[in-house]
Structure 1
Amino acid sequence: MTSMADFNTHEQEARPICPHSEFCGGCIYQGVAYEDQLADKEKQVYGFLEAKSVVPAKVDAIEGCTVRYGYRNKMEYTFGDFVKDGETTLGMHRKKNFMSIITVDECQLVDEDFNVILDAVLNFVKANEYPFYHKRTHKGLMRNLIIRKGMRTEELLINIVTTSEEGFDEEAFTEMLLALNLRNKIVGILRTFNDNIADAVNCERLKTLWGRDYYMEKILNLDFKVSAFSFFQTNVEAAERLYSEALAMVDSFEGKSVFDLYCGTGTISQILALKARSVIGIELVSEAVDAARENAALNGLSNCSFIAGDVFEVLKGVSEKPDVIVVDPPRVGIQPKSLDKIIEYGVSEIIYISCNPKTMADNLKYMKYYGYECVYLKPFDNFPLTKHIESIALLRKK
């Protein structure tokens, strides 16, 4: 467990308040001592549980991060302007004003290379007078910049998102990026074409301008190939600690069949496959399942399989019965019909991994009614300075 002494190391001493904090809504705890951030998040978790009359048999104090800055391995920036008809900006949506974009070239949550790349790309766009995409008129060229990093491999994947309007100089853009003095290594430069009017990154066509269309990462000695739009844990070091502690809550997986529900790209499934007899991962997003299968093959794991589809619908057609179930649902939590199906198996232990304490409390209350007691719960702060809170819980059938 991370001790308070770890929060006082020189490398992670509190920094001056971010210069973007007045307008950027990414961090809500700027200027707040880390001990106070942890206390507030812990209070939120146990407040939600208390409101639902869920009383874990054992609780642990929230575990914080030893790395509180530069921990994000992905950022998705938007082109726009800060004031109407002003100069082009590149960064995050302004809080309480979604149409306004603030340039965040001194962000504290990312590796400094992200800030260098953002600044270089913005200057390139301005120098070439490329218009940004206007949400109201649906005209313009520049839409987004996505940067991803392998924290263990130090590989960078850069993806520029544009409309299909003509005029973008791909060769000059590539040369500009490759000439940057960076600490990490660029392994791929991509261009995504998106003419969809929705204010979101939609990949209608992906073009590799240089290198490859993925980067490599390692988690708990397993290799992962992460493509341009694959979901992957945002804070790798924190995810390792959380997964290790979550799986350690069960005494042994040896000889057991495990269901990993809402498995994403199968990170937990593959860690489990090193311990269990067999693992079945179920995930709604088909692209994530494709990535999970590819990475399982990359790691030589033959005892885990993945199924794409809605958890409830897939479970109706799976004949195998699990010994243990692991759930890692999205922020909306697990819907009642899926909970009913999970409960129906009657397994002795369920590991619940949460990214939203409110919906976790709702789900644990529901499962308590059907005989599942929360015997252990622990919150994690995997995203310092932000509002997000993770938790792990062990549920045991009475």
Structure 2
Amino acid sequence: MDCSYFDAGVCRSCTLMGVPYAEQLDGKDRQARELLAPYGDAAWLAPVASAEAGYRNKAKMVVGGTVDQPTIGILDEAGRGVDLRECGICSPGIRAALPVLARFITRQRLEPYRVPERRGELKYVLVTESPDGELMVRFVARSDQTVARVRAGLGRLAADLPSARVVTVNVQPEHKAVVEGDTEVVLTRESTLTMRVGAVSLRLRPQSFFQTNTEVATALYGQVAAWVDEIGPASVWDLYCGVGGFALHVAAPGRRVVGVETSREAVRSARATAAAAGLPQVAFRAGDATAFALSAATPPELVIVNPPRRGIGAELAGWLEGSGVGSVVYSSCNPKSLAHDLARMPSYRVRAGRVLDMFPQTGHMEVAVLLERG
């Protein structure tokens, strides 16, 4: 993949840009195998490749520039806007939407926030595209003054961008490196975006986390479901469950599944999906995964964990080590933290593993492993 922004030096986010894709994928696979080799004689499956370009289903774009000439992309070292609306890793639907949103910013007089001066209103535009080509558009602003301006232009936006199914304004008043605030104002009749992933149609709410690569996420959920079905547990926990992707994919008759997630919005999404799919045996709880495990009366037969980059940490790893749980499926976006966690759980050995290239053109990857007591 070629990128004019990378070649011009205006954006270096994709650190592997220009490296042949086969070489990228082989390097990630080799890195994961070497890091995890001390923790079991794993049967490694072939890595899951991604499309090299157009794979990102979500764009988190900083708004800069001026009202009449807004930039949508990133900020440079001086805090000035750099326009990346033609970013090649974003999905085609997102790339088509960004110029429309730039014109909307100008028409509705949404003043971009100027970081060096701490003045202005509009900070980010967040756009998510579903597999059906529908969009969730979120404007992140400094105050609720932006709500009225966006609402006033909704009719025109719907005409210019008919794929925008959900439109919101998120209020983030603080001057710090936090993208979203707690307040989310939904301006459209619909408040959820349907993300079809395999046989499951997830209901994605505005502040819910979802994997940025839908095609590879589908493969990830399918791989984990295959491992779980092979073991056949009667009870499963999905810790750090997000919108319930793993929990809903491993649901089966007679199997009790509980998902745990700190984000209440994500839990609302997961519950809505379970209800629509008619899965009463799948339940979701809002709370801390470690606290949930430590307070439970009895452990399940199998645990799935999908933590943030820092991993599950010493406390949850220690609980798993002494829990008696026979099998663990660990999905990690950071194989180094995965290795640290495995060192804390010496009773478990890696029986199977797979690299899934969720983030082409970067050094990041997703690694899924099946752990069983040795």
Same fold (TM over 0.5): yes
1:389 aligns with 2:368: no
* The one of 114, 123, 132 aligned to 2:112: 132
**2:165 is equivalent to residue 191 of structure 1:** no
Judged with a 3 Å threshold, the aligned counterparts in structure 2 of structure 1 residues 260 and 233 are, in CA distance, closer, same or farther, namely: same
Q: 1:181 to 1:141 in 2, by over 3 A?
A: closer
Alignment pair present for 1:375 and 2:355: no
Q: 1:348 & 1:166 partners in 2: Cα distance?
A: 54
Q: Give the aligned partner of residue 143 of structure 1.
A: 123
How much has 1:230 moved relative to structure 2? 1.1
- 1:125-169 Cα shifts (integer Å, max 9, x gaps): 346664321224332122111111111x32112122223375773
- Structure 1 moving runs of 4+ over 6 Å: none
- Counterparts of 1:19-58 in structure 2, within 5 Å, are 19-20=5-6, 22-49=9-36, 53-58=38-43
Contact 1:195 1:204 in 2 (8 A): no
Q: Assess, with a 3 A threshold, how the Cα gap between structure 1 residues 322 and 108 changes in structure 2: closer, same or farther.
A: same
From 102, 123, 127, give the equivalent of 2:82. 102
Q: Is the 8 A contact 1:355 1:388 kept in 2?
A: yes
User: Hey, what does 1:215 align to over in structure 2?
Assistant: 193
Unaligned runs of 5+ in 2: none
Q: 1:275 to 1:72 in 2, by over 3 A?
A: farther
Q: Following the alignment from structure 1 to structure 2, what is the Cα–Cα distance between the partners of residues 98 and 264?
A: 35
1:9 equivalent in structure 2: none
Q: What per-residue deviation string (whole Å, max 9, x for no partner) do you get for residues 190-213 of structure 1?
A: 223332222323335433334422
Alignment of 1:1-398 (within 5 A): 15-20=1-6, 22-49=9-36, 53-65=38-50, 67-81=51-65, 88-94=70-76, 97=77, 99-126=79-106, 130-151=110-131, 153-164=132-143, 166=145, 169-170=149-150, 173-180=153-160, 185-250=163-228, 252=230, 254=232, 256-274=234-252, 277-367=255-345, 369=346, 371-398=347-374
Give deviations 1:65-91, integer Å, cap 9, x for gaps: 2x3322211111111249xxx964221
2:53·2:89 contact (CA, 8 Å) conserved in 1?
yes
Give the distance between the partners of 2:151 and 2:330, measured in 1 at CA. 48
**In the aligned structure 2, how far is the partner of 1:244 from the partner of 1:231?**
19
| Alignment partners' CA distance in 1, 2:69 and 2:158 | 26
The CA distance in 2 between the partners of 1:117 and 1:392, in whole Å, is: 33
Q: Give how far 1:220 is off.
A: 2.2
**Residue matched to 1:11:** none
Contact 1:18–1:108 (CA under 8 A) maintained in structure 2? no
Q: Per the alignment, in what secondary structure is the counterpart of residue 206 of structure 1?
A: strand
Q: Secondary structure at the match of 1:179?
A: helix
Q: State how far apart, in whole Å, the 2-side matches of 1:390 and 1:379 are.
A: 6
With over 3 angstroms needed to count, the CA separation of the structure-2 counterparts of 1:87 and 1:260, relative to structure 1, is same
Which amino acid is the alignment partner of residue 209 of structure 1?
L
Alignment check: 8 A CA contact 1:135 1:199 kept: no
5+ unaligned residues in a row in structure 1: which ranges? Answer: 1-14
Is the CA contact (8 Å cut-off) linking 2:94 and 2:129 kept in structure 1? Answer: no
What per-residue deviation string (whole Å, max 9, x for no partner) do you get for residues 103-131 of structure 1? 11111122223223222322343466643
Cα gap change, 1:394 to 1:141, in 2 (>3 Å): same
Please give the alpha-carbon distance, in whole angstroms, between the structure 2 residues aligned to 1:98 and 1:293: 44
Change (3 A) 1:129 1:28: same
1:115/1:98 CA distance change after superposition, 3 Å = farther
Aligned partners of 2:124 and 2:141 also within 8 Å: yes
Report how many residues are paired. 372
How far did residue 330 of structure 1 move?
1.2
TM-score, normalised by the number of residues in structure 1: 0.84
More deviation, 298-307/154-163: 154-163
User: For residues 78 and 44 of structure 1, what CA distance do their matches in structure 2 show?
Assistant: 32
Contact 2:48 2:355 in 1 (8 A): yes
Between the aligned partners of 1:366 and 1:171, the Cα distance in structure 2 is 52
* Residue range with higher mean Cα deviation, 353-362 or 313-322: 313-322
TM-score normalised over the length of structure 2: 0.89
Supply the distance in 2 between the matched residues of 1:331 and 1:231 (Cα, whole angstroms): 14
